[in-house]
Structure 1
């Protein structure tokens, strides 16, 4: 257990950085740290008037905005448990989560609220909008929220007649060993579980990042990943608010056009991303150039090669605002060939690894030059431990394989400051999450080298078994297929003991090439031979099948594999 209390970090930071810019909406509202702290204090007063007690659950469901962050931070600094609900959840799933978590208060976007039925929300007492803070619902026996909002400013002035100042900040410091965040996963298995995250779990992430100087005072960040997911929330909110940086929340779908404009406007110093965004940039603008015979010829000349690499690197960074010193990728596996190219051109990239159950960090290497190609960084020193344990396939057979370096492949298991308590009201799943000696089972297969770098082979649940007993990792094959021209994404399946790949066409690259979809598909079919030359005999793809639309994904942009059999 860490000595530093999580909430004390925010109390100290808000006092220290009172006059600094803190959070903004892209093309919208802006808050200094002092204004952020003042809004939090107003909500604390509201919570007290609503009768909310320490340990009660408050849910937040809406677009990722500065006001979302205010609601989130007000909850944990009051002593309540925050329940982020992904805005992409169906009304049925959202209802189930609100009921399962026993949430008493809900911050929600008006359009999402209109799809919910208050009569079906068994524990909910009050609900209001996130942005405008307008009352949406109050149970008959609960305080009238509309009336409380109407009187809130006056009540706040009465409470702080000289105005609210940094000296007034005095947050309830929930003990680190207690539940502070209930995060419902949206994984690739289709079952949402409430991960019980403590203050210690978050503090472990935050303190390690502070010690390793991931972000600096005065940095600018652009947040475009879902805040209801721990990966996006940890760096862009929970770490950022301890450090004195300015975070701009995109608040909309990060399409290439929108993201490009936002990068130019914000000029972030550190970028938190998922592989899909980098892979789209690579396949859309870099890969076609590298296939040009003239470029191939010039890359064969050492002096020209370095100039071309530098030009590509600078162009990539300029497209990301021109001020980034580090691009962090996590949430899913990075295509190894794309990673190799970015490493080759000295792009400031580092890859991390984690999961919601570790809030989320397990491994990361903050220095992009020290990051090892193909790895997910090093285990968080002094905070987390990792071991490789024997793993079994779906038939119960022991997986007996080594990687190209002779390291044994097994299940990655971890323990330390960041590991969660388990799953809320689900003792069976909690017991399955941990080994008898207390290590958390990640469900990922991989290896670890002597320096602590972790290399992931794939998920134990997605591993396929060939007819002659060979273990096949579909993610590795998919990475190679995805590099074929005009492939947007793909999914490798085992059908009747043969490997097949479902492929989605890339309409943008087809349009840019000036060809028809039929011609693009024909070139992809011809590319199967090239892919198979890079694979072992037992990994050979027997057929490509055209899939008509993009695959359904989680917020981390991982394909929901269980939907495709």
Structure 2
């Protein structure tokens, strides 16, 4: 599907822009002919230097990054995206873990790549520009590259008969060590196909790649837009998201919640031009950010998925009314099945699901059944119309000693709807039945305490937050923008940088306690009088 679309655009629209690349204050178009020529050049270089190898890709979001990844897919090699925020030591560990033979890198991260090569002398280090330049010295090879694709069928199958791994993407690791999910070309194409059915887009539109390309959401969204002929811009600096969106005049964008928050704040201050809708995935968007974007005339669509499911397998259709709070609608593809298990866990099966975790058979067996069902780890439901509603992570569910269960995400959502509360993480201790909220806010501590008390009044007693820890700084986040969840209980009160606040007992409880005390005292008086009376009778 992907390269068939590329070849079609090369033939039918050779001079139309596939990309618009920032150059100073303007965007320079790169035609479909140039794009496919560049892919073919890198395919030729891969065939010459590292055929059918695992190739690490290290670089900021860029046109060259996408060319390198597409060339890996077309050549039958395995692309291994590397997070640019990793240290040289961590990059070496990942490359060794996947047995990568080559590291392709951008010039911006050349020094880090050089350090990696110094520590791993057997790895081939190649700059993005060197790949293309070397091949062009030998002449054009576009026809050869696409002929290779036509004959690639047998090469998509490993010797054991299993599908070949097209790309290996590491999970974000919010609560566990990141794992390498092995994904096939069919998995990437599954998202492109399903997205094309529910998100109408075409050559008359333009969009910006604002997601990190070393995550599957960014990769899958890129190919979705390209197979539909959308003119694609690339934003290498996520801190300047508003400037990029406004200057580029994007019609739509794919975001994670952290970027949606930034965009909403900037658009409120300075306005926005042209942006019609955004699709937010990777984590739930806060109701407040949803409302802020909607007030600006920007429709917010949601989706749900994981690295292991090749990005989103539920998407909110553009042509249907919004279902606020939902995680989109189950995939329109008959090949992708979604269900809820007996214990309430969402499960998915289809070509979009990973083959396995790399070199982790025990971990794979925990999440992937023999008949292909992937356990998402999320508790949820699917309504009669096919919309998915996420209740929370199974691993995060707080089970009290009384047997009652609490979904932290529910309480976090209520807290985030309070003005001034920017981030919140809820945890619990089963034995003490204590629910704790750790909060980062831009309002005084007294107002935080009042907001928590207001939330508590709307909750059953067992769900109420008993302890609050106010952070002095935002939570640490993963490279995809998700809050890195604590593996230990929140810090004790009065630690440096935190202030533990007692949550006030609602006024009605004081009255109830006073009445109970009066009744107890009256019963004691009656009992004493009765005993005295009996004693007098005996005498």
TM-score (norm 2): 0.80
Change (3 A) 1:389 1:123: farther
Q: 1:197 aligns with which of 172, 183, 190?
A: 183
Partners of 2:325 and 2:145 in 1: CA distance: 49
**Structure 1, gaps ≥5 residues long:** 135-148, 286-314, 392-409, 511-519
Partners of 2:460 and 2:296 in 1: CA distance: 29
Q: Does 1:385 align with 2:337?
A: yes
Q: Does 1:441 align with 2:375?
A: yes
Q: Does 1:530 align with 2:459?
A: no
Q: 2:525 corresponds to which residue?
A: none
Q: 2:358 corresponds to which residue?
A: 424
Shift of 1:198: 0.7
Q: 2:149 corresponds to which residue?
A: 172
Residues 477-519 of structure 1, C-alpha deviation per residue, up to 9 Å, x if partnerless?
A: 112222333322121122443112112233xxx6xxxxxxxxx
Aligned residues, how many? 472
Partners of 1:83 and 1:428 in 2: CA distance: 22
Give the 3-state SS of the residue equivalent to 1:210 in structure 2.
Answer: helix
Q: Does 1:210 align with 2:196?
A: yes
**Structure 2, gaps ≥5 residues long:** 157-162, 490-539
Partners of 1:463 and 1:491 in 2: CA distance: 13
Change (3 A) 1:234 1:415: same
Partners of 2:341 and 2:138 in 1: CA distance: 58
Change (3 A) 1:372 1:213: closer
Partners of 2:249 and 2:212 in 1: CA distance: 20
Q: 2:436 aligns with which of 497, 500, 520?
A: 500
Give the 3-state SS of the residue equivalent to 2:395 in structure 1.
Answer: coil
- State how 1:68-107 maps to structure 2 within 5 Å: 68-107=65-104
Shift of 1:213: 4.5
Residues 35-76 of structure 1, C-alpha deviation per residue, up to 9 Å, x if partnerless?
A: 1122222222322332x223x111111100111111111211
Change (3 A) 1:488 1:365: closer
Partners of 1:502 and 1:274 in 2: CA distance: 22
Q: Choose 375-384 or 344-353, whichever is displaced more.
A: 344-353
Q: 2:514 corresponds to which residue?
A: none
Partners of 1:532 and 1:259 in 2: CA distance: 36
Shift of 1:17: 3.1
Contact 1:208–1:383 (8 Å) recurs in 2: no
Q: 2:501 corresponds to which residue?
A: none
Contact 1:317–1:324 (8 Å) recurs in 2: no
- State how 1:477-496 maps to structure 2 within 5 Å: 477-495=411-429, 496=432
Contact 1:61–1:106 (8 Å) recurs in 2: yes
Partners of 2:414 and 2:387 in 1: CA distance: 23
Q: 2:481 corresponds to which residue?
A: 557
Q: 1:19 corresponds to which residue?
A: 15
- State how 1:231-250 maps to structure 2 within 5 Å: 231-235=217-221, 237-250=222-235
Q: Choose 84-93 or 19-28, whichever is displaced more.
A: 19-28
Shift of 1:339: 4.3
Q: 2:126 corresponds to which residue?
A: 128
Q: 1:39 corresponds to which residue?
A: 38
Structure of higher CA gyration radius: 2
Shift of 1:201: 0.9
Give the 3-state SS of the residue equivalent to 2:48 in structure 1.
Answer: helix
Q: Does 1:458 align with 2:441?
A: no
- State how 1:163-562 maps to structure 2 within 5 Å: 169-173=146-150, 174-175=152-153, 177-235=163-221, 237-252=222-237, 254-255=238-239, 258-279=240-261, 319-321=271-273, 323-336=274-287, 339=290, 347-367=298-318, 369-381=320-332, 382-391=334-343, 410-495=344-429, 496-506=432-442, 520-562=444-486
Give the 3-state SS of the residue equivalent to 2:147 in structure 1.
Answer: coil
Shift of 1:92: 2.8
Contact 2:281–2:312 (8 Å) recurs in 1: no
Residues 241-264 of structure 1, C-alpha deviation per residue, up to 9 Å, x if partnerless?
A: 222211111101x23xx2222121
Shift of 1:436: 4.1
Q: Choose 82-91 or 494-503, whichever is displaced more.
A: 494-503
TM-score (norm 1): 0.77
Partners of 1:223 and 1:325 in 2: CA distance: 15
Change (3 A) 1:481 1:14: same
Contact 2:45–2:134 (8 Å) recurs in 1: no
Shift of 1:180: 0.7
Q: 2:138 aligns with which of 155, 177, 180?
A: 155
Partners of 1:481 and 1:319 in 2: CA distance: 27
Q: 1:406 corresponds to which residue?
A: none
Change (3 A) 1:150 1:529: closer
Give the 3-state SS of the residue equivalent to 2:166 in structure 1.
Answer: strand
Q: 2:517 corresponds to which residue?
A: none
Q: Does 1:64 align with 2:61?
A: yes
Shift of 1:341: 7.4
Give the 3-state SS of the residue equivalent to 1:100 in structure 2.
Answer: helix
Give the 3-state SS of the residue equivalent to 2:322 in structure 1.
Answer: coil
